[in-house]
């Protein structure tokens, strides 16, 4: 797991190396400010971190404790539930929702769980087709309808089918962008209500998919979705394709929400549980001399 997370920070490490060609045992505040900003840690958070440090030379251990503190909310406790466990996947188009759903489904299947997918993004025909292709590839059943159909009805049918057939997990896709934000909010709220009608306590987990390449600009997007329906956790995708790895600290600190997984590649095994210690150490390895 560590190699996946460390490898996902390789482009961030390259960006840092452009500023600090040689690793050191300690840095001044001015040097660290430049390094953290280059890694796309938000300026206001960099100021908070550095203002709490009183040493003139900042060692790895000192910075490590401060970075870990920004990730205090990243732990997650699964709620009590009666199977099937229903997950609602939300996020804008292009963030990697469909690929992430397939990775989650593959993970559960490899754990011996019975999984069913719900193609609730009925706004885009391509979304239904793409998820259906993944379902066939993974040999996992899917409940789908046609473009323009009621997405909440798809969610209900998926949950109802899973209950009747004794499935362990239901993963439901949702539309990423409708004509207006109001339309999107209303649709997501309706899906939430229908999930609860179909199965008590559902959705048990609402997950927001964020594109790691967007860096700190993803924070406003996340806040908007959180206001719409309430988010239980975040999955950050495409972390391997960006030099903005430091934005993870800003996202976690600003939202105070758990980061469940990070996507570090296209393969199913490239969705790894987020471990704040491994993530912080991976970043520090790019900065400090061992």
* Domain range annotation of the chain: 2-73, 85-231
Q: For residues 112-134, give the mean pLDDT.
A: 94
Q: For residues 8-29, give the mean pLDDT.
A: 89
> Does residue 208 sit in helix, strand or coil?
strand
Confidence band (pLDDT; 50, 70, 90) for 178?
A: low
In CATH terms, are 2-73 and 85-231 the same topology?
no
In the chain, the percentage of residues whose pLDDT exceeds 90 is 66
Residue 228 in this model has a pLDDT that exceeds 80: yes
Provide CATH code, domain 2-73. 1.20.120
Which 8-state DSSP code applies to residue 80? Answer: P
Q: For residues 121-143, give the mean pLDDT.
A: 93
- What pLDDT does residue 120 have? 95
- Cβ-contact 16, 39 below 8 angstroms: yes
Q: What superfamily in CATH does domain 85-231 come from?
A: P-loop containing nucleotide triphosphate hydrolases (3.40.50.300)
pLDDT digits (tens, 9 = 90+) for 181-221: 888 889 999 999 999 999 999 999 999 999 988 888 888 88
- What pLDDT does residue 207 have? 97
- What pLDDT does residue 290 have? 80
Token readout for 6 is 């460390």
Residue 2 in this model has a pLDDT that exceeds 70: no
Q: What letters, b where the CB count within 10 A reaches 16 and e where it falls short, cover 101-117?
A: bbbbbbbbbeeeebbbb
Give CA–CA dist 289/60, Å, rounded: 9
Give CA–CA dist 127/156, Å, rounded: 18
Provide the mean pLDDT of the chain. Answer: 91
Residue 265 in this model has a pLDDT that exceeds 80: no
- What pLDDT does residue 145 have? 92
In the chain, the percentage of residues whose pLDDT exceeds 70 is 98
- Cβ-contact 149, 191 below 8 angstroms: no
| Neighbouring residues of 205: CB distance < 8 A, sequence distance ≥ 6 | 78, 79, 85, 86, 87, 88, 232, 233
Taking each helix axis from N to C end, the angle separating 10-19 and 29-38, rounded to the nearest 10 degrees, works out to 140
Residue 264 in this model has a pLDDT that exceeds 50: yes
* Residue 142: count of CB within 10 angstroms of its CB: 23
Give CA–CA dist 110/281, Å, rounded: 29
Instruction: For strands 115-118 and 142-143, give the pairing.
Output: parallel
Point out the least confidently predicted range of 61-65, 80-84, 213-217, 266-270: 266-270
Q: For residues 159-170, give the mean pLDDT.
A: 97
Comparing CA positions, the residue from 55, 58, 8, 6 lying closest to residue 36 is 58
Give CA–CA dist 90/236, Å, rounded: 12
- What pLDDT does residue 1 have? 46
Confidence band (pLDDT; 50, 70, 90) for 179?
A: low
């Amino acid at each position: 797991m560590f190699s996946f997370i460390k490898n996902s920070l390789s482009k961030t490490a390259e960006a840092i190396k452009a500023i600090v060609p040689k690793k050191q045992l300690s840095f001044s505040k001015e040097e660290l400010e430049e390094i953290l900003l280059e890694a796309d840690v938000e300026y206001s958070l960099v100021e908070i971190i550095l203002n709490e440090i009183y040493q003139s030379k900042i060692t790895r251990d000192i910075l490590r404790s401060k970075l870990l503190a920004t990730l205090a909310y990243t732990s997650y406790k699964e709620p009590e539930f009666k199977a099937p466990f229903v997950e609602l996947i939300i996020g804008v188009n292009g963030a990697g929702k469909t690929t992430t759903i397939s990775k989650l489904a593959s993970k559960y299947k490899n754990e011996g769980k019975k999984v069913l997918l719900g193609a609730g993004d009925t706004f885009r025909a391509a979304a239904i087709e793409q998820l259906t292709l993944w379902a066939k590839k993974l040999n996992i059943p899917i409940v789908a309808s046609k473009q323009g159909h009621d997405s909440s009805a798809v969610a209900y049918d998926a949950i109802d089918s899973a209950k009747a057939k004794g499935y362990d997990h239901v993963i439901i896709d949702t539309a990423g962008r409708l004509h207006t934000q109001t339309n999107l909010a209303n649709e997501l709220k309706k899906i939430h209500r229908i999930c609860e009608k179909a199965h008590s306590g559902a959705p048990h987990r609402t997950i927001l998919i964020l594109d790691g390449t967007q860096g700190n600009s993803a924070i406003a997007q996340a806040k908007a979705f959180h206001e719409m329906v309430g988010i239980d956790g975040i999955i950050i995708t495409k972390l391997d394709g960006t030099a903005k790895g430091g934005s993870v600290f800003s996202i976690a600190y600003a939202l105070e929400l758990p980061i469940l997984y990070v996507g570090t590649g296209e393969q199913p095994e490239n969705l790894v549980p987020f471990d704040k210690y491994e993530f912080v150490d991976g970043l520090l390895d790019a900065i400090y001399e061992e």
